[in-house]
Structure 1
């Protein structure tokens, strides 16, 4: 049984998008409604924070330490400054089909293209207006590559980058798909059902792929991490001390630590048996992960 360590005393509203930055030996993540980007130095336990111009949903780094991010109104380039300040430039803005939408889950593929999806923020309404986009420095914003999504989530790539994963975590969907992925052009194809999470505990939230090519998803509402083999077979589950884990990411010197963000319910009654909801956690599952690709690296062909 993997020991679960709580790493943060602050409790965040909607922790998301953990990213291990190797050059700093530090973990970054966001708190979406608070418009915050956080940084943890595991060696000292220090947590720093910066406030973005809008809700910050997902982040990735470039080689120079800049951030590319999905916010409310588009894809932004962010630069973290002193005193918690953030300078921002909007790079692209898709046409949102309804008000009250924002970007949600996103990350770079293995070739350094940034992918992110949109969603309507009224999750119970289940508006199928979300879409998935690709952004590159060479071609700008491309898409929608996928549409009809209610709550886009679960983006990840296989170790070789030739398979892409995507999920819809809305209670009326709860599905994870796999695609063949052309690494030269950044084009997904052959969409098929990978996991029907209606047959498993929880909803499929943020995800990560380990060095064995297995897909880890945060089972939101069920308080678990679930690991699926490349064939879509559940082969491991880990119970967490919170009901709403939101995204996981491998990090640490050997990428053998799995970091997990979580969501804090708004109602006090929902906190009685999970007082740590909203905290950042870490565990060592005995599996190694993979470093996240930086934006624009190694070669931005598409």
Structure 2
């Protein structure tokens, strides 16, 4: 099936983010109180911060790969890493102190956390994957870390490359994707906000019918789901009914995750991955685009780390 008319709004590379590209840029998080964007480079083991007003960038090196982040109410980072979930305290310099909070019983060696995000009540959700994507091993699972500091048993199993976590503005629908080339699916669940239980799993978007693989995602104020179409260099927007209604071209091959930011939450910040071969000048860099719609505010972790 063909994508809708390709849109070409102004897409800018965020030059203040630096000239060195990420290997695997992921997990952009906008901190409104700071007017700053945070993101990670997974294999480089770094968390980066960019102040919107000054353009100042700060990087923190962690002891192991870091894939997804959020913040608690005191500004401490909750990070999904290789061996578990960690509390990370970021100093005013490039130093970071880490403390392990919890870890699942990984099904196999060579796994790590991947995509993570909080629901509207501040529970942190994150999934695991086998790092060797070529193995196409469905050993990954999705977990919930609640405000009391309890890590759940696996809630969704048999994931190859877990991705695409997001919630509708009202918090009653949860989205989850598997971006492996053999899957390329986004699912929707009815979500019980009181208990944190997703039910009634169904296919929301099948990207085998479109271009790219569904990677990280965000939801706008209209309840539409934006997903980074990895390998296709596109942003795709699906309506709450699962209809693809917008396609935006990006100057990178592998957009990885997006989030709304800026003072009016009207800017989409997009991280990207730099291919091992054939990379262009923008691959691996941070992008921004104003799509003409604002985002639904994201929630941080409701507990204290």
TM-score tier by shorter-chain length is over 0.9
Q: Following the alignment from structure 2 to structure 1, what is the Cα–Cα distance between the partners of residues 36 and 138? A: 36
For structure 1, list consecutive stretches of 5 or more residues without a partner in the other structure: none
Deviations 1:69-105 (A, max 9, x none): 1000111111101331111111111011111100000
1:109 aligns with: 119
Query: Contact conserved, 2:122 with 2:147, CA < 8 A, in 1?
Result: no
Q: What's the secondary structure of 2:93's corresponding residue?
A: helix
Write out aligned runs for 1:184-195 (5 A): 184-195=194-205
8 Å CA contact 2:169–2:221 kept in 1: the answer is yes
Distance 1:117 1:201 in 2: 24
Picking from 257, 264, 267, the partner of 1:254 is 264
Equivalent of 1:292 in 290, 298, 304: 298
- Cα deviation for residue 52 of structure 1 reads 1.1
Structure 2 residues not aligned, in runs of 5+: 1-7
Aligned match for 1:24, one of 34, 38, 46: 34
Measured after TM superposition, the shift of residue 44 of structure 1 is 2.1
Following superposition, the deviation at residue 143 of structure 1 comes to 2.0
2:11 equivalent in structure 1: 4
Shift of the alpha carbon at 1:139? 5.2
2:140 is aligned with 1:144: no
**Counterparts of 1:62 and 1:89 in 2: how far apart (Å)?**
14
What's the CA shift for 1:137? 3.3
Residue aligning to 2:4: none
Question: How far apart are the structure 1 equivalents of 2:147 and 2:266?
Answer: 31
Deviation per CA, 1:197-249, whole angstroms, max 9, x where unpaired?
10010000000000000000000000000000001000000000011000000
* Residue 125 (structure 1) shift: 1.1
Q: Which residue of 2 aligns with 1:76?
A: 86
Q: 1:226 aligns with which of 216, 236, 240?
A: 236
**Secondary structure, counterpart of 2:208 in structure 1:** helix
Give the structure-1-normalised TM-score. Answer: 0.95
Q: CA deviation at 1:124?
A: 1.4
Runs of 4 or more consecutive aligned structure 1 residues displaced over 6 Å after TM superposition: none
Q: Distance in 1 between matches of 2:189 and 2:284?
A: 32
Are the counterparts in 2 of residues 109 and 161 from structure 1 also a CA contact under 8 Å?
yes
User: In the TM superposition, what are the counterparts of 1:195-274 in structure 2 within 5 Å?
Assistant: 195-267=205-277, 270-271=278-279, 274=280
Q: Does the CA contact (< 8 Å) of 1:20 and 1:291 recur in 2?
A: no
Cα RMSD over matched residues? 1.1
SS state at 2:134 partner = helix
d(CA) in 2 for partners of 1:86 and 1:185? Answer: 34
The aligned runs of 1:174-189 (5 Å cut-off) are 174-189=184-199
Match in the other structure for 1:279: 285
Task: Give how far 1:196 is off.
Answer: 0.6
CA contact (8 A) 1:155 1:165 kept: yes
Q: Does 1:168 align with 2:178?
A: yes
Alignment partners' CA distance in 2, 1:63 and 1:122: 35
Mapped partners of 1:226, 1:83: distance in 2:
37
Name the residue aligned to 1:60: 70
Shift of 1:10: 2.3
Corresponding residue of 1:39: 49
1:130 and 2:130 correspond:
no
The separation in 1 between residues aligned to 2:148 and 2:51, in whole angstroms, is: 33
Please name the residue that 2:3 is paired with. Answer: none
Counterpart in 1 of 2:166? 156
